[in-house]
Structure 1
Amino acid sequence: MYDLIRVAAAVPNLAVADTTYNTEEIISLIKEASAKGVKVLVFPELCISAYTCADLFFQSPLLNACVSSLANIIDKTQTVDMVIAVSLPIACDNQTFNCTVVLNKGKILGIVPKTYLPNYNEFYEERWFSSSADLVSKEITLCGQTVPIGNDLIFTSQNVPNLSIGIEICEDLWAPIPPSSYLAMGGATVILNPSASNELATKHEYRRSLVSHQSANTISAYIYASASVGESTQDLVFSGHSMICENGSLFKESKRFSKERQLIVADVDLEQLANDRKKNTTFMAHKKAFGLPYFRTIYFEIEKTINDTLERNIIRKPFVPKDDHKLNERCSDIFNIQLSGLAKRFVHTHAKSLVIGISGGLDSTLALLVAAKACDYIGVSRKSIIGVTMPGFGTTDRTYNNAVNLMNALGITTKEISIKAASLQHFKDIDHNVNIHNVTYENTQARERTQILMDLANKENGLVVGTGDLSELALGWATYNGDHMSMYGVNSGVPKTLVRVLVNYVAISGNLDEASKTILLDILDTPVSPELLPPDKNGEINQKTEDIVGPYELHDFFLYYIVRFGFSPGKIMYFAENAFADVYSKEIILKWLKNFYRRFFNQQFKRSCLPDGPKVGTINLSPRGDWRMPSDAIGKIWIDEVEKL
């Protein structure tokens, strides 16, 4: 469903050279995987015999027993709708090869021999095996089936879009250019690695990094299954360390040194991988520069199924890391990108001041914090920042006091310029009834504020620092040529869910005094609002943005999957229902998804003329950078699909 395919790495509890026991373990794990809806399954290297048989690999009884066990596995899996990779030693061309055999519904699809044989330190594989480079035959007969053999095989589904499987074996991954690099450029989106990697102190960390990085380099799903503690411990110990990674992200990892057999399962997103490859135009550049080997394509079919559960962690806030260490590192990086961008622009323009409208809300607070640190960075006084609070008809005491107190706490130059009189005069000039609180009433105030900031910047040889964020730009939640406009938009690449996190990061770890910290925490606790409508009877905010356009955590979720991966409305809805199952009903999610698509298409004209601002993450809506969309594009295809959900 939605190009998700369920994959698994199996770690059987093996016995060295006991092919009967090992085969029973393998068949049992296949049944378990089938019950879990797995469609692609990989076992460790030489799992039928065990990896540590050493000179027993010279014994014909062992090689014959392995083939008999393979025949048994084939017989027992004729009705299993799954691609299964098992490994065994195979005699061919007067040599023995360390091979992985790919099975599907009782048929051998193909055989892939190992290419790089380790023959250093504790490894002596060249004593027993030959490399795939020494192979002469293109086909062999095995278990009564004539099948292709070679390291040039890619197994491609005829009915599941973007499912193509490549095989490399253990040491192949450790080569300077692993076979999986070529397999991926040849079309493989899923890489299986049957492995027998022994344990040494800290080796698992390097192994994890290697698998993760190769999945990123190849923009693939990488399923790595390694030999368990059942291997011989005569000189080495194996831990069963297995992993499932997708494009650099670790999805699942087995428990090392477990006495029990293990099966790790994950749903990988083939569409996401395919879209990333198309977007990354250097992915296929190697072909032009150095050429690619020829690959034989082996076709198979598996049934498309819809699983009751999703074996994939769909993060509610994709812009915000869950790990505290990564979160702090991410916040530090983003904050430094923002302040460096602003500092460069400040110096380049020979401006004497930075002019910022301070509302007491999240966005202007973050912009002010960035400006203050930018001044510290280039060694100019914070007094060169002119913070302007501009009370209007909707300004509450809470936001006004927070704005004034924060500016004072940061030691900047402050100004207060009310927009009420100017707005009333403008209403009179255009013959607008002040009691009609419509878009004219609201936008007049927003544009009056921008005019003040621009004119003040002219007067003070200043640079107007924009405060609008990425989420607002996606929704068009800005007044055209009002708060939409500035001379440098420091928040233009920061989504709302991350703005909140950044302000909290500065409050907690920004070396601020207690008074400034208290102000920031209260700002974080204040409802998001443009404050363009009069307060309620209690003097509280009467215009809450998320009541009007919807929850920002939903909109940031939609934005991420629409722009980053180009997913369909149906797939985004499916992911959102999984991510927010205990927060929002299907009806609520669908309501705001419709609103997002409608606004995203209708408001592109605002994004087509954005001021400069720094990109801080994988998504940006600058017309000069990541997002180039016609302002008059029609969203009918997307809206029609949403209406059918």
Structure 2
Amino acid sequence: MGHLITVATCSLNQWAMDFDGNLQRILESIRMAKEQGAKLRVGPELEITGYGCQDHFLEGDTYYHAWEVMAVILQSEEAKDMILDIGMPIMHKGVKYNCRVIVSDRQIALIRPKLYLANDGNYRELRFFAPWVPKKVEKFYLPRMIQKITQQSHVPIGDAVVSTLDTCIGCETCEELFTPNSPHIGMGLDGVEIFTNCSGSHHELRKLNLRIELIKSAMMKLGGLYLYANQQGCDGDRLYYDGCAMIVLNGDVIAQGSQFSLRDVEVVTATIDLEDIRSYRARMASRGIQASFSEAYERVDVDSALSSGENDSDLHVQPTAPKEPRYHTPEEEIALGPACWLWDYLRRSKTAGYFLPLSGGIDSCSTAVIVASMCRLVVQEAQAGNQQVLADIRRLMADSPDSIDPSYVPSDPREIANKIFCTCYMGTENSSKETRQRAKDLAAAIGSYHTDLNMDSVVKSIVGLFTLVTGRVPSFKVHGGSVAENLALQNIQARLRMLLAYMFAQLLPWCRSSTGSLLVLGSANVDESLRGYLTKYDCSSADINPIGGISKSDLRSFISYAGHAFDLPILNDFLDAPPTAELEPTTEDYVQSDEQDMGMTYDELTVYGRLRKIERCGPYSMFSKLVHTWADKLRPSEVAAKVKRFFFYYSINRHKMTTLTPSYHAEAYSPDDNRFDLRPFLYNASWKWQFNRIDQDAARLDASAASSST
């Protein structure tokens, strides 16, 4: 037959501005692809620089160094006899573009700029790059360093496709798959058989199925081979890129990589018969009619082929069979995604480990279990012989750079946790014995180095200083104090915990005769941040927060899952405990409750968050939706009161988001200020116009309901 080809796509754990490391990972992926017989290798978006360079894309140095890396690739043995699809930023005529560079046997065949830029949510590509005009092709004059290597003075740049001796290849980049008029439609109608998508797509809970379904449906309608590459890991920001490189043929997944992994390089290959694409398309008469009217793409010819061209050679090779796509449950995603993110952050920050104020509540419990999950993943990869993981964990487990054991291979996650993870219960007279015991038991179960302290003397010193200066003694609400006194006394405790957390994080390694310092972990969930139910600069103020983009309900589901999956029966005690800050005295008549303090439940907060951010609802449209959704349990006036209460507290606490700890992004309704959620932080909290409209409609609906019932 002579039509069998082997292709490769990959997930790379690239790091923004790490040109040397990025180069090594690119070369390793090409080597792995060649070893598996592939002639075409596809890599992630902007893989030479890393996707998350942000304003470094405005610097000329970034483009110069990217070309230097490309020069090394072009001269490498790896690039010989291969077609490579490589991502890098390129400046053309003084304009910056997000580009793919197609290399064929160490020659640049085509530079293909991105047509449709991602510019919402977490992405700001229009800040750095310009979109290219569809179907436009120009000459690009190569830098002199490249001309000396390839003996080419210029190459085509633009929206073109590449014709080999046996097939045709077209590129689209990340966002272009999600747009209504995706480039693969026109390319497929013009005869392109292989589509490459080089992506920098981040993880969100429950998002992967959308990506897979888009690719499957595109190839099911069009026919063709789709190679999806993605970055994997934390490249220096809040996002975790979740890999899952895949190959789809005519709507069927035939190869899929991991979504969460500690491997820096993962290559996925498949062998397919080009005739399967052609026969699939031939059965669709309507496709042929549409193709005859489609506008042609400019073709760039390369003198190479992906297939052997020898009929006999195909007889001993079996094409890759279709398989069902793999998905993780949301609970598994929480266990794996933030854990991989934490590992990248720890090993690349060159710190000694993590420190967590462990309160005995479900939020800090979730953070601790995610660190435990990270330790489990490290042991699994080390046992599997992952050399990068072994080098990193050996450095972290050593007391100093001079005491690294080159033969050390971890076997117990608890051993790792005891070295790199310190937890601390910071109690006061308002803390309960139950939360203190839960924190102690959890630390013992996961192996963290645990300390336990009472900070009453420090709190009393601060209150005493205030009394000395003002002559006034503040009291808690249960002791007759005002709202202002009650809040101030709670915040003293919360803010002192932040101070103590950083002191212990800096000095605990020294106390244990080790070097370095620890990163402080936060544990405020996305719903608390949305409501502003946290103290500014308290123990929620940390270095990073693995659960800051995860809802309370998802965290509860995760803890229920982890109790069985990680054999941690202690987690059942956390599920049964009511959420409380334990910052006020407990009496016979009063026990502090998070949901009572907030005036709304965590489940309600999730609803408010999704409507506010994902469905872009203001106060009035949120009321208009919820008055029907909650009609079976609440009167319109009660719905109105709840919506107004949410927007009031959201407004007066929005300023807290300006100092929110950088958090792992996991939810599309994250309130992360100036990064994901671009809204003001100073509001007129009365929302007078909007609330008046809500009250008018609520009164009218209440009256209508009352008249109909009589």
Using structure 1 for the length normalisation, give the TM-score. 0.47
Higher fraction of helix? 2
**Which has more radius of gyration?**
1
TM-score normalised over the length of structure 2 = 0.43
